[in-house]
Structures are given as structure tokens and as C-alpha cells.
Amino acid sequence: MTIFKAWHHLGLASAVLLGACATLPQDGAAPAATGEAETIAISVGPCFGFCPVYEAAIAPTGAVTFNGMRHTVVLGERQRAAGEASYRALAADLAPYRPQTGTTATVECEAAISDTSTYTITWTDPRGGKTVARHQRGCRGGPGQALDGLLQDLPARLGIEDWAKQITRPGESRG
């Protein structure tokens, strides 16, 4: 065997061995391709009163979609640009509450008020795979308490605060 062939085989063997040593992310999901990121959607559900009910989503590009459903100043869909930095900051802040890829989990709360809004946070990968966290607003302890503060600031962070503001329209019922 020539020296060139020996080095070639050694190089191939090294590549195979290095590939075998590659690790998957902690949650067992396949590693994301370069530039691949998830869209983050937050759905705000009804409460016992006249709480705003809406959905907001931010794409990795920073494009925000808002859909006001009930008790919001704006009903229906609106879009705006928040920027990639807004997306990255929100993704980083929500990361501690993100369940294992492909699962649905409830954010822990030591004591919650039962008649408040519920939040559903959905991370959707480019292939349509979903990871979901559910949270009851009004958490008085545990990880959910910090998440309450983060979600309270969400409309301002996404630039949808004027659309998502609470409004009571004549003839509309609670909830």
C-alpha cells in the first residue's frame, strides 16, 4: 500500500470515528440545520372576566402576526415587523419553559388563581413539529411566577400592545 493510500484510509477512518462521537441535543431531537429556527406562537385564552383573547406569533425573521379574537381593541389579523433581535431575545427568555421537543407540558406553579387566562406557547419547527407549554396566569410561586412577568410584557415586546389592549364592547359577555 502506498503512503497516499494509507493516509487516505486513515483520514476516512478518522471521519467515521468522529461522526460516531457526535452527540444529539439533550432532549434527543436531531440537531437543527444551520439557520433553522422555530416559530413561536402564544395563545391567550379567556378568563372569568373580560380578559383579552388573542394569538400572537413571531417568526425567526421577526415577522409578527396578531389575531384578536375577543375583548381586544383590534379584532382579526394584523401583521408587523419586530425584527430578528426581538425573536432571538424572546426565544432565549422562553427557553427555560420549553418542554422536551415534540411534547406538551404544563409549567409548574405552586399556587394559581383559577379564573385567570391560560397561555399556550407553541414552538413550531420548519417541518411542522410542535412543542407546547401550557400555563395558568396568576401563579404565586414556582417557575410559573417568573413566566407570568415575561408573558405580561409580551404585547410590548412584540409591538402589539395597542392591538391587544383590553376593551369591553356593549353586549359582549365575559369569558
Q: Which range of residues forms the domain containing residue 158?
A: 39-164
Q: What is the pTM of this model?
A: 0.78
Assigned domain for 26 exists: no
pLDDT beyond 60 at 4: no
pLDDT tops 60 at residue 6? no
Whether 29 shows a pLDDT value over 80: the answer reads: no
Q: How many domains does the chain have?
A: 1
Asked, for residue 106, whether it belongs to a domain, the answer is yes
Within a domain: residue 157? yes
The predicted structure's pLDDT at residue 22: 30
Task: Read off the pLDDT of each residue in 104-126 and give the average, rounded to a whole number.
Answer: 91
Give me the pLDDT at residue 99, please: 97
> The CATH number of the domain where 140 resides is what?
3.30.1560.10
Q: Which of 144, 174, 146, 147 is nearest to 53 (CA)?
A: 174
